[in-house]
Structure 1
Amino acid sequence: MNDMTPTKLKAADFATDQEVRWCPGCGDYAILKGVQRTMAEMGATPENTVFISGIGCSSRFPYYMETYGFHTIHGRAPAIATGVKLANPDLDVWIVTGDGDGLSIGGNHMMHLLRRNLDCQVLLFNNEIYGLTKGQYSPTSRVGTRSPSTPYGSVDAPAEPCAFALGSGARFLARCIDTAQKQMPDILKRAHAHKGASFVELYQNCIVYNDDVFGAFTDKKESAHTQIWLQHGEPMLFANGEKGIALDTETLALKVVDVKDGDWQAAGVRVHDERNKVMAGLLIAMRVPDFPVALGVIYENPAPSFEQDVRTQNVEASKGKVVDLEALIKKGQTWEVNQKKLREV
């Protein structure tokens, strides 16, 4: 008797034979390894997994994943992903996009995918620059960013990806850093387990055109004071437990407090609640040097997904009806072409 036990795949089983072509030192390499490792750890199957991308450095991703994939057009990955998921709701659909692809030309598609709550995972690589087209400023580039398109410094107010997603109705929000290989698999697994649209912002360093733009909070020597990794039901502590995040009840704004002798409750430190949408908005807005950057799962509030509702609606609409394509075609306004009358005309 043949052993039908599925073979446990390894990270290498999700790597293709294609030459990975990003600039040496690009953060995309680390994300790719993190995703491949996660696929293996959570028991994903290549034949049931689809990676869909638009245009940009990050959008080469499907070529390097031993799964099904689509390299689509600029900003339209959410539209293609919607079609794939509606055609086969059983597929695991992952969207890989960048801050330019997903929030500029693709901003409209991204908004509607999130508000519809399609069951998929959106991985938005944010390097705050257009890398593929040689360093133009992007929707997330900071004021003052010098680039070929803004040689005197950008005057645009930057978009905040997670705030955009939250405002668009996303039910799952998380953040990670390209080099955070310890935390990345758990975040991606959580995103995959969530039924609905999961939005994960990945801070990704562009070593050529925007090197070290996130250095203020990614520098390992200072990371204990500049990063806070959130855990549902746990106090929001950082700096090795010596500081925490509290809520000023008068201004309804967050503040950093000192924690003495480990007594975080006396200091007024808040416990992270992933269901609290108002708190999620406040956490997203935290910035160094006044605050640490919030990382991990920031918000999760499940709701019925789009393709599930569409399938249910279709079942209800078809009850008691007989499938007759010919009758459908002939239904409504019809006319007959009279060849004799045509010749007379």
Structure 2
Amino acid sequence: MANNIDNVVTQVKYTAKDFASDVDVKWCPGCGDYSILAQAQRSSPEFGELKENIVWVSGIGCSSRFPYYMNTYGFHTIHGRAAAIATGVKLANPKLQVWVATGDGDMLSIGGNHFIHACRKNVNLKIVLFNNKIYGLTKGQYSPTSEKGKVTKSSPYGTVDWPFNPIKIAAGAGATFVARTMDRDPKHLQEMLTRASKHTGLAFIEVLQNCVIFNDGAFSHLTEKDTRPENVIYLEHGKPMIFGANKDKGIMLDGLNPVIININDGVHSINDVWVHDENDTNPTREFILSRFTEVEGLPTPVGVFRKFNKPTYDGDYHHQIEDVIAKKGKGTYEKLMFNANTWEVK
């Protein structure tokens, strides 16, 4: 059966238009969500799945309109519960490729528990977190990723909260594919989506996304051409971590502390620079990378932080069912309702 499906996918030549629905897209003009949608539609032909085998699940928020705009199956659910419902979809039909579109408020606030347990269980889902560091749909309150001191409608004197770090949470909770990209870098965004589609296990992508109405320019230092080179470092497997307009800056590890060096200063060279290993079996360096955004002066990493393989929750779930059936036979309604633990009241 699998070979037949593979053959059909090979024969079907999809384009981006095949994944665009006929529903009018309703986001604010200039919203970064338009780019994420466009890149998802352009990347989908590379996922290797028939579009009727792809499902997008969302919660509540601007990002959660996503399933309407993808010409696949979709499910617009309730606030914060997208990861839990997507898990149910995957368990009910393991052949489906299940994606989650969510926001920093939706997934990291009310949905935080569902998110960390989906990561912990390594459910075979692809979670795309639209992070604009604000609540957009409910009109500009601070979110779990808003910076400390952020003045908003719900924090008129500046928030006293410390923000969540989505990459660190996903990595710490056990996600087996962790990546970051930006709405203003379409090719890189497409690459991350495609790579996530090929991963077996919980794939998490944080997309730095601009909310033009309530938090415009939150990531401009990372997305603008004149400032990006000095503030963004692209993680490429097997390559040294260098950045800067002249590619003359690198990251060196001093013990477990990342420091910036000049590779042309006569003291340091390219040989001193940390070489990225996305397949590192030790999560220590993934954790160090996740903290770059918390340390003033360090560039923001984008790319795949780490990926590794381990058994998935849904895979083990179905294997367990198969093993029990092989040992005890298929269950029936009568066996369930009239076993030794029932009694009759006369």
255, 259, 266: which one pairs with 2:259? 255
Q: Is the 8 A contact 1:125 1:204 kept in 2?
A: yes
| 1:94-173 pair list within 5 angstroms | 94-173=99-178
Per-residue CA deviation, residues 267-292 of structure 1 (Å, 9 max, x unaligned), is: 51011011241111111211375111
1:291 maps to which residue? 298
305, 309, 316: which one pairs with 1:309? 316
Per-residue CA deviation, residues 86-112 of structure 1 (Å, 9 max, x unaligned), is: 111110000010000000000000010
Q: Is the 8 A contact 1:257 1:267 kept in 2?
A: no
More helix by share: 2
Q: Is the 8 A contact 1:123 1:202 kept in 2?
A: yes
Shift of 1:315: 1.3
Shift of 1:148: 0.9
Q: Is the 8 A contact 1:95 1:123 kept in 2?
A: yes
| 1:1-345 pair list within 5 angstroms | 6-239=11-244, 240-249=246-255, 252-260=256-264, 268-274=272-278, 275=280, 276-287=282-293, 290-323=297-330, 324-338=332-346
Cα distance, 1:264–1:21 mapped onto 2, change above 3 Å: farther
CA distance in 2, matches of 1:111, 1:243: 35
Matched letter for residue 325 of structure 1: Y
CA distance in 2, matches of 1:247, 1:294: 15
TM-score by length of 1: 0.92
Matched letter for residue 336 of structure 2: L
Shift of 1:314: 1.1
Matched letter for residue 171 of structure 1: T
The more displaced of 324-333 and 61-70 is 324-333
CA distance in 1, matches of 2:161, 2:345: 60
Shift of 1:177: 0.4
Matched letter for residue 330 of structure 1: F
Cα distance, 1:81–1:264 mapped onto 2, change above 3 Å: farther
1:342 maps to which residue? none
CA distance in 2, matches of 1:264, 1:14: 49
Per-residue CA deviation, residues 125-162 of structure 1 (Å, 9 max, x unaligned), is: 00000000000110001111111111111111000011
CA distance in 1, matches of 2:189, 2:123: 22
CA distance in 2, matches of 1:182, 1:48: 25
1:343 maps to which residue? none
Matched letter for residue 328 of structure 1: L
Q: 3-state DSSP class of the match of 1:182?
A: helix
Count of aligned pairs between the two proteins: 334
For structure 2, which runs of at least 5 residues remain unmatched after alignment?
A: 1-7
Q: 3-state DSSP class of the match of 2:205?
A: strand
Q: Is the 8 A contact 1:242 1:262 kept in 2?
A: no
Q: Which has the larger radius of gyration?
A: 1
Q: 3-state DSSP class of the match of 1:279?
A: helix
Q: Is the 8 A contact 1:75 1:106 kept in 2?
A: yes
CA distance in 1, matches of 2:20, 2:267: 47
Matched letter for residue 95 of structure 2: D
Segments of 4+ moved more than 6 angstroms: 261-264
CA RMSD of aligned residues (A): 1.9
Q: 3-state DSSP class of the match of 1:296?
A: strand
The more displaced of 311-320 and 142-151 is 311-320
Shift of 1:10: 0.7
CA distance in 1, matches of 2:76, 2:267: 51
